[in-house]
Amino acid sequence: MADADLVRLGSLAEVVTLKAGAVLTREGDVAPYVFNITSGSLRVYKLLPDGRRQITGFLFAGDFLGLAIGEHYVFSAEAIEPTTVCRFRKGPFRALVESSSPLEHMLLHRTSHELAAAQNQMLLLGRKTAIERLASFLLDLPGHDPARPTAPGHVRLPMKRGEIADYLGLTIETVSRVLTRMKAKGIISMPSQSDLIVERPDLLRAHADGEV
C-alpha cells in the first residue's frame, strides 16, 4: 500500500477505545463503519434467537472488520480485552478503496485468506470430533495472535472456556473434559488456566488432521 493511501486513510479515521466486553457492532444494526484493529482482540459472533452463539472468528491487531457490503452488520463484535480500533465511515472508505488499487488489492488478499480460514473452520465444525477440534484450535491459535509468547510450544489462551466452546461448536464442559484428556495423555500441560504448553506437537498435529 502506498504511503499516500495511508495518509488518506488516516485522515478518515477516528480512534475508538473499548473496555473488555464492550460491544462494537450488533448483528442487524445499521452499518455505517468499517473498523481496523489497532491493539487488543475482538470476538465476532452470530446468535440464534434462543441464545445459541457461534463465534466465527477472533480478530487481532491489524485485522479489518465490517468490509462486507450491506446496509446492516451481519455479525456482532465485542472486545475480549481492552482494545483500540480505527473507525472509518463506510462511504468515504469505499471511495478511497475504489481509487486506490493497492489498498483494494490488500483487502482482496486478506478477504481471500479469511475465506480459506472459514472453509477450514467448516471442515472442523461439520466433520471433526471434539478432540480433533481442540487440537486444530491449539495449533492455529498462535499463528493468529500477534501477542503470542515467544517460547515455542507455549500457547496463550486469552479467551474463556465459553468462548472456545462457542468457537468450536462445543459446550464448556466438553472443552474442559477434552483438555483434561489431553493432559492425561501427555499431549499438553497447563501451568495456569490460560497458559498451555504443547508437549507432543506430533500427537496434537495427528489429532488435528483426523489421523486415526
Partner DNA sequence: CGTTTAGTTGATTTTGCTCAACTGCCGTGG
Partner DNA sequence: CCACGGCAGTTGAGCAAAATCAACTAAACG
DSSP letter for 81, please: S
6 binds, among its own copies, DNA, none (CB under 5 to 8 A by kind): none
Cell readout for 5 is: 493511501
Report, in Å, the least distance between residue 114 CB and its own copies: 6
Q: Would you say 6 or 116 has its CB closer to its own copies?
A: 116
Least CB distance to its own copies at residue 55 (A):
8
Give the footprint of its own copies on this chain (CB under 8 A): 46, 48-50, 52-54, 56, 67-70, 74-75, 98, 101, 104-105, 107-109, 111-116, 118-123, 125-128, 166, 168-169, 209-212
Beta carbon nearer to its own copies, 48 or 184: 48
Determine the 3-state secondary structure of 112 from DSSP.
Answer: helix
Residue 97, Cβ neighbours under 10 Å: how many?
Answer: 19
Does 193 engage in binding with DNA (CB under 7 A)?
yes
Interatomic CA distance for residues 174 and 170, integer angstroms: 6
- The answer to whether 156 touches 194, Cβ cutoff 8 Å, is yes
Nearer to DNA, 70 or 126 (CB): 126
Binding at 103: pick from its own copies, DNA, none (beta carbon under 5-8 Å per type): none
190 binds, among its own copies, DNA, none (CB under 5 to 8 A by kind): DNA
Nearest to 59 by CA among 146, 1, 137, 119: 146
Reading the block at residue 129, the C-alpha cell is: 470430533
d(CA 19, CA 120): 31
Q: Binding residue for DNA (CB under 7 A) from 13, 16, 190, 206? A: 190
Are 34 and 85 a contacting pair, CB within 8 Å?
Answer: no
Instruction: Between 109 and 185, name the residue whose CB sits nearer to its own copies.
Output: 109
Q: At what angle do helices 101-127 and 3-12 cross, to 10 degrees?
A: 70
Q: Which does 93 bind (CB under 5 to 8 A by kind): its own copies, DNA, none?
A: none
For DNA, the binding residues (CB under 7 A) are 129-131, 160-162, 169-177, 179-180, 190, 192-194
